[in-house]
Amino acid sequence: MKSFPLHDVVSPLDDSWSLERLAYLQQTFADAPPEAVLTWALHTFTPQICLATSFGPQSIVLMHLISELAPETTVFYLDTELLFLETYTLRAQLEQLLGIGIVRVTPQLSVEDQARLHGPELWARRPDQCCELRKVLPLRRFLEDQRAWITGVRRDAGPARQAAQLVEWDHANGLVKLNPLVDWSKERVWDYLRRHDLPTNVLHERGYPSIGCRPCTRPVREGEDERSGRWVGFEKTECGIHRWPSEAGKTAQAVAPRERR
């Protein structure tokens, strides 16, 4: 693993994570570059740490950082089997360019089996259920053996993400969650991508700032929220894999370490 100069590397003495401890880590890394929190997290959790990628701009920044810091780190994506062809093309490009393997995590039901069990085009009738089957449950299963996961969540990507923290406890999945770019703006992300000459999804040039599954993603107009092209016609703005305590009605209580499997 490539070393990174840290003034204050926090090494946990045990495996318990209280909200106070997470708050302390957030304070410690508040003004540090993402490499700092990533280096700490990789030292603390490897090999039970993974990076989730959606192949969005911020995911590509993180994949690039991870490929430089510790390319053996598990990188995975949720393949709903309904992604755009352009997204699969980008995946292959990034694997080759960054020299990393990207694990494909799939739902238990194929699209055809889902249609047989729940009716055709579930996304057009009950998108929450479709996301639960094709994203939320596969993610939960994949994270069972992990102690921490890294995501590209940014606070300014939409109103539902305002509560996101740099280091937080993922109540839904029972592990530490790191959002190293939580304070980054869209402009800062794109500036990083340009400086490092990294490829991005060609659909961004066609008006898609946020890209999910084919049936649930539309282009957005100039000035609109970058996630407003997702689930058009529904109240839904998030697929359900990112939930925050305030959203879930959780109080600031101490969190217990998860049972190891």
Query: For residues 183 and 247, which CB has a smaller minimum distance to ligand SF4 in the complex?
Result: 247
- Per-residue H/E/C for 25-47: HHHHHCCCCHHHHHHHHHHHHCC
Question: What is the footprint of ligand SF4 within residues 180-209 (CB under 6 A)?
Answer: none
Choose, by CB under 6 A, the member of 42, 74, 84, 135 that binds ligand SF4. 135
- Stretches 6-14, 128-136, 169-177, 203-211: which one binds ligand SF4 (CB under 6 A)? 128-136
Helix (H) or strand (E) holding 215: none
Token pair in block for residue 89: 């093309």
The reply on whether position 82 binds ligand SF4 by CB under 6 A is: yes
What amino acid occupies position 176? Answer: V
Provide the β-strand partners of residue 168: 177
**Which residue in the set 80, 146, 173, 210 belongs to the binding site for ligand SF4 (CB under 6 A)?**
80
* Residue 134 binds ligand SF4, judged by CB under 6 A: yes
Q: Is the Cβ of residue 120 or residue 199 nearer to ligand SF4 in the bound state?
A: 120
What is the Cβ-side half-sphere exposure of residue 40, based on CA atoms within 13 angstroms? 21
Q: DSSP letters of 81-94?
A: S-B-HHHHHHHHHH
Q: Does 229 interact with ligand SF4 (rule: CB under 6 A)?
A: no
Which residue, 125 or 196, is less far from ligand SF4 as judged by CB?
Answer: 125
| Shorter beta-carbon distance to ligand SF4: residue 123 or 244 | 123
211 binds ligand SF4 (CB under 6 A): no
Three-class secondary structure of residue 49 per DSSP: strand
Q: Amino acid letter at 247?
A: E
The answer to whether 130 is a known catalytic residue is: no
C-alpha–C-alpha distance, residues 248 and 65, integer Å: 31
Would you say 147 and 49 are in contact if contact means Cβ atoms under 8 Å apart?
A: yes
User: How many residues touch ligand SF4 (CB under 6 A)?
Assistant: 13
Judged by the rule CB under 6 A, the positions of this chain that interact with ligand SF4 are 80, 82, 123, 127, 130-131, 134-135, 212-213, 215-216, 239
Catalytic residues: 239
